[in-house]
Structures are given as structure tokens and as C-alpha cells.
Structure 1
Amino acid sequence: MTLRSRLARAVRRRRLARALKDLDAIAEALTPAEGFLVVYLDEPKQHLVDDLARRLAVEVRMIRVDGSVEAALTALRSMPRPAAILDATSTGNRVNLLRQTVFALPAGAAYVAAGVTPQWTSDVRASAQPREGEGAAAARRRQELADSIDVQTSTQSLGVVRKRGTHHFTLRHHAVEEVLTDQFGADWGEVIAQREAYEYESRATLHMHGEPPHRDKPATISVPALSLRRYRDVTCHLREVTTKGNLVLPDTFRHWQGGRLFHKRIIPATAWFGRLEDRMQQANVRHEAGEFFSFDSAFPTHYGHLTTETLSKHWGWRIAHERNPDLRVVMTHQPNQERLPSWKADILGALGVPLDDILWVTQDESVRVDSLVAAMPQLENPHYADRDLVDTWEALYAGLGPDPAPHNRAAKIFLSRRTRTQRWCTNTPEVEAFMAEQGFTVIHAEDTSYAEQAHIFRAAKVIAGFAGSALFNMMLNPEARVVVLSSRGYVAANEYLFASAAGHEIHYFWAPPLVDQPADGFTVDAYRSDFTFNLDEHRAELIQALA
């Protein structure tokens, strides 16, 4: 350590020591409400804790920071929301400590930094200002900070910030049991069942035609350990958002292995915190007795998300329902949408899920339940698909009943699209005409019932179509050859994951999107981009694959 830095630290410690002597000023700045006060320290100072506890008549909890923001966050995550925070540290980046941890406070609570100069206050304000050249995601998080703090003028070596709004810690699966035990003890719930992690070589026979996306299709599929948990006393919100106290439970997030947890209805503040959208926070919360299973989804009326994310939790339903035959299902009822579309009822009904007593949550009403059972998914796009998903797919097809017309099914089918909102193939009529010339029956999935679709897919020898959810019933026919026509910007891997688990021969034919993915990143615009499929370029290989 240089002489200058040692002198600077000594000055900060003297300033902090002077500030901490004025407990009256600190008490006035903190003005904690009901609850407890958190004090950040570099080393234990029990006399300070005792003095504050007497002066403020509240419980005081110490967090030893030692310059580590993560140490503060880890400790805060295992507590309910504190009534106030006092930063009594003299080391580390104290502005960043506030930026990262102030979100733990409830609305109106005070964050007080002792022993600071007016420069600290200026730096806090500056940290919430826009930065030139900053990425969109970082700019949104900085704006969330600006909207969440009220920086007051510093006095008597005290910096004071008041919190706006309410935020939650966003939990990951690897931490959930430890954090819940720390906060709630053994009463948080239990792990009902676990599946061990394993790897397998993809069973797909993969063929690529044209220039593929930058993301490779992994030859080895790594399936993580999966848990089935029973949580006590949690609140179910719209679109699978589930909270307990100041925590968002990890089952909320469908891309749970992502670098940052993301949900469209949760505004990100930092890697550790998010804010439920206003409608969710303002919704009435009622209590419903009993035990429930989460068959909810971030996209409740989207066929593709049901057949990937929801079905991949069925393993947990089987176990939980056997333990508790009175188990009910919780789902979202989207505004202006059919509560239970026929295809959704057909799929869940075929799997033995009772549909006549569903607990519905809406944007106007969340539900606090006695207990909620939630299963980690057997599939996460684009990372893994558990081989045992095949058991669910077979049970689904069996539950639909026998094919009423087994001898009148097309051997070759092409799944086309009418929807032009995203990933529209601009020469769709040309592609459909070509497929018809090759002996394919052109199908639009929305024209038939789900059971009829299932039987059509089951009987086909070759299944072709534009990439996306219309092809997902390939899961019901592991013997078919699958041909996928796709934009290179569409980097989802659902069809490949299905094929990896079930053993399909699968051919991808790639077309350049109108908006391409960046070489080292991802954009939604490219993911949704329209494209033109060049039949002349692919004709020979396509005819061979379709034969």
C-alpha cells in the first residue's frame, strides 16, 4: 500500500470516528420504522451497535463488509427488509456499496453513510445519471437507480439517501434453499425430490445446410441437477412470478441459467434485484388455502412455451400429485385472452391434470397460498433437454386416445405459417408451392384440433416446416425425419433439443435474415427478423432431404 493511500485511509477513519460520535444526528437521519437496522462495518464495533440499539429502540444487525459488496448482498439476502441501513465503513467503494445494496430497503427508508464529504453525495447523484455510449440494458438499470433514490444534501459528515419503490432479491436455484433457511428456518418448505446432473451424447442425426448461426448445436447435452420443491406461504402473481417476503423465487425465471435473470414483468435494477411491474404490485392479494402446483408460464397462451417449458415440469407434477391427490394447479388468466384455450386443455387433460378446479391469478389479483410445489424444468432452450422428457411425450400422445383415421394420414407434411408479426418468410407462397410439388401436404396447425395435429404428426414419415412452435409436435414422433427451414437470426434450439432427446434425423436449412445477429452478441430484432428462403440455393439438397 502506498503512503498516499495509507494517509487517505487514516483520514477517512478519523472522519468516520468523529461522525459516529454524534449518535443524535445519526438517529435523526436514520429514523427507522418498525423493523431492524443494518450497520455495515469493516470490523466489529459492538459498542456502536449497543448505543444505536438503545438510542433508536430497534434491533441492530451488523454486516462485516471489508470492502466486499458481495459480502453485504449475501448477508442482506438472508434477512427480511431492514428498516434502515447505516454505512459505517471506511474502506472500499462506498458509492458502489450504496448503488448495489440500497434496493434492499423498503420505500421511504433511509440509507445513511457516516464520515463522508459532500463529494460522496455528488458521486451518488452522478452514478444515477446517463452515460454516453452505454448499452441499453445498462442504461435501463441506471435509470432504475435514478428512479429509486432521493439523494439529500449531506450534513455533519452524514450522507443521506431515501429509498423509493419496492424491490425484491431475485434468487437463483443454487442459492434458494440456503437463503430460505437463513430467513425462515425449516418452515420455508422442503425439497421433495431431486434428479442428479448427467451428460449424454445427442441422439440427433444432425445435418446443416447453408451458413448456420454463430451458436453451435452442442454434441454433448449437459442436464443439470433438478429439484422439486414445496414452498410454504408464497404469493403467486401473474405469469409465473412467485414471491416470498422480499425474495423472487427462482422458478419465476424460465432462462434460469442466464448470466442475468430476466422476466418481462420484472424491471431489473442490478444482478441481484428487480422490481415487480406496477400492476403486479398494485394487484389485490387474497389468500387461498391448500397446496398448489405451478403449471404457470411467462407466456400463458403461447403454444410453444407450453410444449417446451410447461411440459418439462410434468415430471414434478407426477410425483407431487401422487403424494397429494388433492393438489390443484395454479395458472395465469391473461386479460382479453381465453382462460383455457382448447389446445391447452387437450394437452394438460391428456396428461391427467385436473382442469375443473384451477387457481387463476390475474393482473388485478395475486394469490397467497399455503404451499406451492414447483419443479425445475427438464428443458431450457438452448441449453439442455432431459432424455426422460420422452416419457412425458409418450404419455401425452397416449392420453389423447387412438387415432380415428390411422389409414388416411399424409406421409409427408409441411408446417407453414400465416402470422407475419415476426420471422415471416417473405416468399412463403413460393416455398409452399415447392413443397406441394415434392408431395407434401401443406398444413397450418391452427386449422385443426390438437388431437388431430398429434395424429397427423405421429403418422408422418417426413416432417418439414418453418422453425418455431408449429414444428414442436415432432416430439410425438421420434421415427420421423425432420426438415427445418429457418432464419439464421433465430438462434432458438428447441427442435434440436427435441431431436437430441428423441433421436430424430434433423436437417436445418439456413437463410440470411433481413437483420442479422452481431458476431459477438444477440439482438431481439435479429431473432424476430423476417427472411427470404432461397430455393435455388438449396433446391438439390432440399429435394434429397425431403425424399
Structure 2
Amino acid sequence: MSIFRQSVNSRTDWRKAARSLSKSLEGVYGRVAFVTDDENHPAVAWLVHEFSTVVLVGPESTRRPGLRTVSAATLEDETAAIAELGGLSAVVDARSSTDQERSLRWQWLFYHVQQGGQYVTEHTTTATPWWAEEGLLGDANRSPRDFKESAQSIETVDESDGVVRLRKGRQHVFKVKDENANRVVPARRPLARLAVLETEPGGTFNGSTTVVEHGSEPRLPSQKWNYHHSHVRKVSGGVTIRRDGLALAGDTVLPSSFRHARARSVSNPQLVSFNQEFGRAREHGPTRRLNGSFYDLSSTMSGHFGHTMTETVSKLWGWDRAKEADPSLRAIYRMPHPEFSPTVERALFTAFGIDDTDIEWVHDDVQVESYVWSSYLWQNLTRYHFHPRVKETWSRLREGLVESRPVDRRIFVSRKSTEANRACLNLDEVEAHFSARGFEIVYPETLPFAEQASTFGSARIVAGFAGSGMFSMMFAERLDGVLVLSHDSYTARNEFLYATALADELHYSWSRSQIQHGSDFSTEAFHSPWAFDFAAHGSDLDRSIDRMHELADRQRS
């Protein structure tokens, strides 16, 4: 049975309650959201008398001339509607009629209240302190984590005038997804003056790469996917750029902060996320102000090669149009620490045509006057896909980095360190096996970046261990074949995406990881050591190797 019933008027003195709320919110700015079933509720007149911006939130039938109203039939509707109002100075709940209702609605809507703002609802001093009783709803809570965070966010409690006022002591931030940004950002931040500088249409990709998998049930996604409209956007009015690409416009997290910007629940290492909509920014240092407009090329894991190759590269596409719109625009890249040398990043930017004098390298938190970003053209999670426009970026980088050489190499991409993530415990045996069968063993991390690009650019066949060492496949104009060795707990599919874009044929060989995922995703399993199982998969591997040679020889003849 639903815990929700029709709200009824109580003995609450709304005149006093509205006046007390107004006094207690001095210095706190933002709209007041009044959640109700009744447009003629007695609180409306008193709230409008005390506050200049009151918004009614309620069912479709809730309308009051001269007052902004947003329709919301359910709690999910309420939080979606209120999200577009921006940070609120207060939420006043007159829709709940029981403590169970009040508790659940508070767990959904308290996040929208700014730090220092208040959540108000009808209450008597003899009633249950529902904001402190997690067991009141049991399994009906939004989640144990949401209840705990909401409870810990209460700074003070005031019970008077027939209401309870919960003052909020923490600031939460709203996570904007890429597909909603054109609507939500200007709604939440009207002074930010969001402008869309370029739009790349979406469509459907139909890959034609032949895919072969050994050692496991099929694990690779479909080669057919829908890719979304992608945009180059600009906002003004001050945006803070923090470590790991976290971009904040006040209490709004911009989509550039999320490398999986179209995932169901987006995240960033510098956010403590509680649900799909809200998180809390981690502690940070002082913020330095930078005048001017900046195009963000940071990744969500600053300084990590793999994240640079998949994230930063997939954001380069909008630079030309943004620079054309504002010739004073500069690129900005957030480094992990002052001693970091952005060798790879500088080489990529130079190859793309961005002059070094047009790049601001920062290692601290900065606030920029105007902020420009482009949609990611690459997503390596859940709905794995890329936008075909990213291949134009690869081509431009190839022209700037790859030396002209005969395209005839057959390389096996290995790694020097056996202590790295996903360490192959019989690496020497694997290398010897490939070397004896005509493959050149390469260690990309030991090569100058331009030489690494040229090595892949002159390859016909790329084989190797799954991981960021394989990402330089992007520098190949095309590949006859790709052969990937991986373990069954590795859920990233970057190698699949590169091969789908560039290769005629792709073979995967799966072995079992030492640590397995349980009922939930496990980071330890994802990075688990493993060994290639020659006893179980050696014959299949040899057939794949023979096929790779056959493909390359066919092209040569």
C-alpha cells in the first residue's frame, strides 16, 4: 500500500511560519519551492508576501494565476522539476500528510536546498522526529545512503509555529548529463548565458569488422549503436575547474566532468555521489581566478595516459569552431601536480594544431570567466560507442605525428612492468610465443611518444594485452587485424571500439582472472592479475595468429 495520501490542512500558523522562515533565510538566495496538492493552500499567500520568487510544485491540476507552477505527479517528477529551478533557499512541503511521507519526500528534495537554506514541513512537537529515524520507512527509504547523507546534512532543527525547519549544513551539487545540458544549464544558471557553438548530428553506426572470441561466452558488445548529437558549448559567469576535470558552475556540475557522460549514473573522482542526480564535491584548496575564455581539454584522471587518449582526444573536435567564434580563446589542461610533465598532451595538442602559447597548463583549482567544452565522442561503459567524427581527429593527429614509413609491421604490444594493473603472470612465455611466430615485441611506454605513434602507424597487425598500451591503434590509418589477450573480469572495451573503427578483423582471447567479480562490480577484479591459459586456449590462439598473418599476407599479395 502506498504511503502517500491527500494532504490536509492542519493547525499550522502559516503566517508566522512564513515570517520566521523569511527572517532565518537572510543572506541565503534562491527560489522557494512550495510542494502542494492545493493551489489555494493558506501558506501560498503568506509565502508570496515574504518571498519574491515562489514556485508551486504539484499535480497538473495545481495552478494559480500569476504564480509559476511546475507539474509533478510523483517524487521522481518533483525532483526533476525542481532540478531546473537551481539551488533553492527553501523547500516547503505541504503535500505530505504522514511522517512516512515527510521522511521520504525529504530524502528526495533536501538535496536541492542550498547550504544555509531550509527544509520546512508541518510538524507537531509531539510527533516522531522522522528525520532521525531511519527505521521509520525500513526498505521504503530512498536508500540507506541517501537517508544517512540527508540526516548528516542537517545543521539545526527548529520546531515552532506548527512546522519543523531543518537548516542545511552541507552543499550538494547537481550532475547535468550531456543530453540534458542545453535545457538544464540555462534553467539552473540563467546568468551563465549558455551558447551552443556547434552541433554534430547523431546517427546509427553499423560496424563491419569480423569478430572472433575464444575462451569464454561472447563478452563483446554489438557493433551497431546509436550515437548522440554532440555539441560545443560555452557558458559565462564563472566556472571552477578542479582536479580530474571536475567543472562546477555554482552548484551545477557540467557534463564535461563525466567521461561516461551518457551513463545512467555519472560520476567523477572528485565527487562523492549519492544517486543519479546529486553528489558532494570533495575538499579542495584555494581557487585562483583566470581572466578570459578557456576550452577545457582536461581528463577525469589527470595525467593518466589511457584517459588522455580516450577522453582528451575525444574532446579536441570542437576546438576549431570555438577558436573561430572567439579568437582570444585558450585551451586549458588540468595537471595532477606541479612536477608533472605533459609530454604526451603537448605532443597531441601540437599535432592537432593548437599552439603552445594558446594552452594554459594548471595544477591548481582555477575559476575561469568563460568556459567552453565539447561533448565526448567516446564512451567506454555500458552503451559502448563512439561518434564517427572522432576518426577525423585521429586522422589529423596521425598527420601531425606519424612518420612516413612502409606499413608492414606485425607487433605484439607488451609491457615491461609485471606489477602493473592486470599483470600477466606468464608474460615471458606469452612474449616468446608471439616472437617465435613472427611478431615484433614492443613496449610503448618505453618509446618517445612520436615514435610510439609511428610504430602503430606503420603496423598491419596489432596484437597485445588489453589496456592503454593498445590505444595508439588510433594512429593507424587502417589495420588488417587486431588480436587482444585479456581476462574475463576486465570490462573496458576500448580495444574493441578502436578495432571496430579501424580493423578488418578482431580476435579476443579470454582467460580467467585470479580475482572474480561478485554480485557487484569489483575494482580489484577489474585490475586482477591473470595468466594466459595455454593448456585451454593455446590451440585457439595459434589459429588466431595464423589468421592474422593470412590477413596481412593477403593485403601484401
Please report the TM-score for the alignment, with normalisation by the length of structure 1.
0.87
Is residue 309 from structure 1 mapped to residue 311 from structure 2 by the alignment? yes
Residue pair 2:482, 2:503 contacting (<8 A) in 1 also? no
SS state of the match for residue 152, structure 1? strand
Which residue of 220, 224, 229 corresponds with 1:225?
Answer: 229
1:101-140, aligned counterparts within 5 Å?
101-115=109-123, 118-121=126-129, 123-127=130-134, 140=145
C-alpha deviation, 1:337, in angstroms: 4.5
In structure 2, what is the Cα distance between the partners aligned to 1:420 and 1:130? 47
Aligned to 1:540: 539
Counterpart pick for 2:56 among 63, 66, 74: 63
Contact 1:41 1:62 in 2 (8 A): no
How far did 1:468 drift? 0.6
Q: Which moved more, 1:105-114 or 1:181-190?
A: 181-190
Question: For residues 37-436 of structure 1, what are the structure 2 equivalents within 5 Å?
Answer: 37-45=32-40, 48-54=43-49, 56=50, 58-66=51-59, 68-90=74-96, 93-115=101-123, 118-121=126-129, 123-127=130-134, 140-150=145-155, 152=157, 154-185=159-190, 188-212=193-217, 215-238=219-242, 239-279=244-284, 282-286=285-289, 288-335=290-337, 337-340=339-342, 342-363=343-364, 365-369=365-369, 371-382=370-381, 383-400=384-401, 402-403=403-404, 406=405, 410-418=409-417, 420-436=419-435
Change (3 A) 1:454 1:109: same
- Indicate whether 1:24 and 2:16 are aligned: yes
In structure 2, what is the Cα distance between the partners aligned to 1:290 and 1:323? 14
- Structure 2 counterpart of 1:13: 8
Deviations 1:81-120 (A, max 9, x none): 2323322224582212111111222223221212457545
Q: Which runs of 5+ in 2 are unaligned?
A: 60-72, 547-557
Letter in 1 for 2:225: I
- Name whichever of 99-108 and 290-299 sits farther off: 99-108
Residues 175 and 459 from structure 1, CA distance in 2 versus in 1: closer, same or farther, beyond 3 angstroms?
A: closer
Contact 2:245 2:298 in 1 (8 A): yes
**Separation in structure 1 between the aligned mates of residue 408 and residue 314 of structure 2, nearest angstrom:** 28
**For the Cα contact (< 8 Å) 1:44–1:64, is it kept in 2?**
no
User: Do the aligned residues in 1 keep the contact of 2:411 with 2:439 (CA within 8 Å)?
Assistant: yes
- The residue identity in structure 2 corresponding to 1:236 is T
Report the 3-state secondary structure (helix = DSSP H, G, I; strand = E; otherwise coil) of the residue aligned with 2:187. Answer: helix
Cα distance in 2 for partners of 1:180, 1:283 equals 25
Moved more, 66-75 or 440-449: 66-75
Distance in 2 separating the partners of 1:334 and 1:131: 43
Name structure 1 gaps, 5 residues minimum. none
- The verdict on how the C-alpha distance between 1:294 and 1:212 changes in structure 2, with shifts beyond 3 A counting, is farther
Q: Percentage identity across aligned positions?
A: 24
Separation in 1 of the partners of 2:111 and 2:119?
10
Q: Say whether the 8 Å CA contact 1:115–1:158 is kept in structure 2.
A: yes
Q: What is the CA distance between 1:402 and its match in structure 2?
A: 2.7
* Cα separation, partners in 2 of 1:537 and 1:88, compared to 1, 3 Å: same
Distance in 1 separating the partners of 2:127 and 2:249: 38
CA distance in 2 between counterparts of 1:504 and 1:119 reads 69
Instruction: From the superposition, tell whether residues 337 and 73 of structure 1 become closer, same or farther in structure 2 (CA, over 3 Å).
Output: farther
SS at match of 1:422: coil
Aligned AA (2:304): H
Q: Residues of 2 paired with 1:411 and 1:273: CA distance?
A: 48
Q: Structure 2 CA distance, aligned partners of 1:101 and 1:83?
A: 12
Classify 1:218/1:160 alpha carbon distance in 2 versus 1 (closer, same or farther; 3 Å).
Answer: same
Flag the 1:385–1:77 CA change in 2: closer, same or farther, 3 A: same
**C-alpha contact (below 8 Å) 1:52/1:60 kept by paired residues:** no
Separation of aligned partners in 2, 1:251 and 1:435: 40
Give the TM-score normalised by the residue count of structure 2. Answer: 0.86
CA distance in 1: counterparts of 2:191 and 2:158, whole angstroms: 44
Deviations 1:504-536 (A, max 9, x none): 411101001112234x75322221111111123
Structure 1 residue 141, shift from structure 2 partner: 4.2
Q: Matched residues in 1 for 2:233 and 2:407: separation?
A: 45
Report if the CA contact (8 A) 2:86-2:187 is conserved.
Answer: no
Q: Report how many aligned residue pairs link the two structures.
A: 523
Deviations 1:98-156 (A, max 9, x none): 111112222232212124575452x3212399989x9xx95554443232124636445
Structure 1 residue 192, shift from structure 2 partner: 1.5
User: Structure 1 352/212 Cα, relative in aligned 2: closer, same or farther at 3 Å?
Assistant: farther
Q: Does the Cα contact within 8 Å between 1:235 and 1:243 map onto a contact in 2?
A: yes
Q: What is the CA distance between 1:186 and its match in structure 2?
A: 8.0
Q: Which moved more, 1:292-301 or 1:87-96?
A: 87-96
Question: For 1:283-341, what per-residue CA distance to the aligned partner results, in whole angstroms no more than 9, with x for missing partners?
Answer: 3241x23222111111121111111111112221232233334321111121265142x
Where 1:366 maps in the other structure, the secondary structure is strand
Question: Per the alignment, in what secondary structure is the counterpart of residue 59 of structure 1?
Answer: coil
Map Cα deviations across residues 196-236 of structure 1 (whole Å, 9 max, x no partner): 221122132211111146x4421312211211212222313
One-letter code aligned to 1:254: R
Query: Quick check: 2:331–2:360 contact (8 Å CA) kept in 1?
Result: yes
SS at match of 1:258: coil
2:175–2:252 CA contact under 8 A, matched in 1 = yes
Shift of 1:421: 4.0
Cα distance in 2 for partners of 1:308, 1:408 equals 24
